[in-house]
Chain A
Amino acid sequence: MHFCYSVVVLSNNMKRMTIVFTLLLLTACNGEMVNTANETSLVEPEQATIQPLSSTSVNATRNGSESGQPTMLQEPEQNGISPTRIRIPAINVDAPIVQKRLNEEREMEVPDNGEDVGWFEPGTMPGNSGNAILAGHVDDRNGPAVFFDLKELEQGDLIYLTGKDGKELTFEVKKVIAYPKDNAPLHKIFGPSNQRNLNLLTCTGTFDHSIQDHEERLVVYTSLKP
């Protein structure tokens, strides 16, 4: 709060001071809200109900020789890893990954602490075609948690995953989108895909004490870097 004071002292012009003070109130007291509501990149554009595709992704490749015999078309070679560590240099994240499943209410379990990142193990392995899912807390009870700065990620930022066998995969950020918590496109986030995607999930928006939950969910969409 002393920050407010110092800026007020610095400003000599009453009019400008009013504006500065207004902005200050917003940033000092409501930083996160400013971020999610003002940056339009975080909010899904209204008209984007159909994503135009520049080219079609072929789900299958020919598995076998060109013998003219009937052939089975299966998925391209799979390179999935069982991830154990995530690094995101752009926001100084370096964290262990733990495996998480569905609970009895058919919700995704999340780490019980603010340091670990949870991999949705029943879903896709990172590196395989589909949407692999990692979820981490934005904050714990006392302060920022592992994915606190996830909303700062931008297109082109890199995510590094290390697998149980030591293999490292690199993913590249494509989009960062915030959704109201009950209105996220689950099928698009968790469902099958021809692409090798990794989606990072956390909470964002204001924290509603009456329901002990944040009002929005942030999804960072990334794809395997070729």
Chain B
Amino acid sequence: MKKILSALFVTMLIVGSMASSVFADNHSDMAMVRVLHASPDAPEVDVYVNGNAVVEGASFKASTDYLELPAGEHTVEIYAAGTKGEKEPVISQNLTVKAGMAYTVAAINTLENLELKVVEDSMNITEGMTKVRVGHLSPDAPTVDVGVVGGDALFSGATFPMVTDYKELDAGTYDLEIRTEDGTQVMDLSGTSLEENTVYSVFAVGMADNLDVLMLKDYTLMPNDMPQTGMGGASTNATSYLPMLAGVAVLGAGALLLFRRRTQQ
């Protein structure tokens, strides 16, 4: 019986230590950060945060998925690809991020004048709507408006390196254009599809004579919590498994006694 009790004790110790199993990250203390290479003449780059590689071999117009980064201050260093340890970073800058926020960190301007542009990204959308903003990341392009072709401007007076506020719109396909303030079309964006429940950043990148537009998704509609996907019918019961253990122990003890009696016979 003593052994059985000690077995039970060991069991409880093990179970007890499991119940408090450590979950390393507290995701509510995290910020989301993505990196965009928007420097037209910069080489492929490696991006390091606090000395750890987060992106390797990113070329112009490449963007990463959002990465979790603990809230607080971090050092962001960008190296020409494969040159860390041999050469100085092309840029090194501190970045402070807040918990529960999302950011785009864009390497912008020409290589000679490389800078990091940090913007906060939206993390909400009205269900059924779409949301969009534009960023003027072309170092030598003029001030522009973005609007419906031949119609009203949605965003006015965007100038390098400005990123506008978001605008919530009905979802759908829009015939948009980038135009100078006097109405001359710079770029035709006809047929731009803005899906419902989605937040976009539209970034104009490249030099004025070779302009491109990147359309990134910043956010999609999501719940506040993880869904509740169980009703308990086949699961361990957290509040009452100790009595169950005791029950098993009693049964086991009974079995052991039975076993001993049999072997003694």
Identify the interface centre among A17, A192, A208: most chain B CB within 10 Å of its CB: A192
With A54-B56, A70-B186, A209-B238 given, is the CB distance from A110 to B229 under 8 Å? yes
Q: Contact: A50 with B49, CB < 8 Å?
A: yes
**Chain A CB within 8 A of B15 CB:** yes
Give the residue name and chain of the A residue nearest to B100 (CB): A187
**Chain B CB within 8 A of A92 CB:** no
The CA-CA distance from A38 to B8 in the complex, in Å, is 19
Q: Within the complex, what minimum Cβ distance (angstroms) separates B176 from chain A?
A: 9
Q: Contact: A26 with B11, CB < 8 Å?
A: yes
Q: Contact: A57 with B65, CB < 8 Å?
A: yes
Q: Contact: B215 with A108, CB < 8 Å?
A: no
With A56-B56, A108-B227, A206-B235 given, is the CB distance from A18 to B7 under 8 Å? yes
The CA-CA distance from A173 to B217 in the complex, in Å, is 24
Q: Contact: A122 with B54, CB < 8 Å?
A: no
Q: Within the complex, what minimum Cβ distance (angstroms) separates B146 from chain A?
A: 12
**A83-91, A154-162, A164-172, A195-203: which lies at the B interface?**
A195-203
**Chain B CB within 8 A of A148 CB:** yes
**Out of A60, A130, A131, A179, which one reaches B61, CB within 8 Å?**
A60
The CA-CA distance from A105 to B240 in the complex, in Å, is 30
Q: Range of interface residues on chain A?
A: 35 or more
Contact partners of A194 in chain B: CB under 8 A: 63-65
The CA-CA distance from A209 to B235 in the complex, in Å, is 11
The CA-CA distance from A118 to B215 in the complex, in Å, is 29
**Chain B CB within 8 A of A81 CB:** no
With A25-B248, A29-B248, A31-B236 given, is the CB distance from A135 to B229 under 8 Å? yes
The CA-CA distance from A84 to B234 in the complex, in Å, is 26
Q: Within the complex, what minimum Cβ distance (angstroms) separates A95 from chain B?
A: 13
Contact partners of B21 in chain A: CB under 8 A: 36-37, 43
Q: Range of interface residues on chain B?
A: 35 or more
With A18-B3, A123-B220 given, is the CB distance from A52 to B52 under 8 Å? yes
Q: Contact: A186 with B235, CB < 8 Å?
A: no
Give the residue name and chain of the A residue nearest to B237 (CB): A207
Contact partners of A53 in chain B: CB under 8 A: 54-56, 64
With A73-B214, A213-B228 given, is the CB distance from A45 to B65 under 8 Å? no
**Out of B27, B213, B239, B255, which one reaches A183, CB within 8 Å?**
B27
Q: Contact: A201 with B229, CB < 8 Å?
A: yes
Give the residue name and chain of the B residue nearest to A214 (CB): B230
Q: Contact: A147 with B229, CB < 8 Å?
A: yes
Give the residue name and chain of the A residue nearest to B11 (CB): A25
Q: Contact: A138 with B255, CB < 8 Å?
A: no
The CA-CA distance from A30 to B27 in the complex, in Å, is 28
Q: Contact: A185 with B27, CB < 8 Å?
A: yes
Q: Within the complex, what minimum Cβ distance (angstroms) separates B72 from chain A?
A: 11
**Chain B CB within 8 A of A222 CB:** no
**Out of B66, B192, B236, B258, which one reaches A188, CB within 8 Å?**
B66
Contact partners of A182 in chain B: CB under 8 A: 225
**Out of A45, A120, A124, A143, which one reaches B233, CB within 8 Å?**
A143
**Chain B CB within 8 A of A74 CB:** yes
Instruction: Pull 9 A–B residue pairs with CB atoms less than 8 Å apart, ordered by A.
Output: A26-B11, A49-B30, A60-B61, A72-B213, A122-B221, A124-B220, A139-B232, A181-B225, A183-B23
Which B residues are closer than 8 A to A by beta carbons? 3-4, 6-8, 10-11, 14-15, 18-19, 21-28, 30, 32, 37, 49, 52-59, 61-70, 102, 123, 127, 186-189, 192-193, 196-198, 210-241, 244-245, 248-249, 251-252, 255-256, 258-259
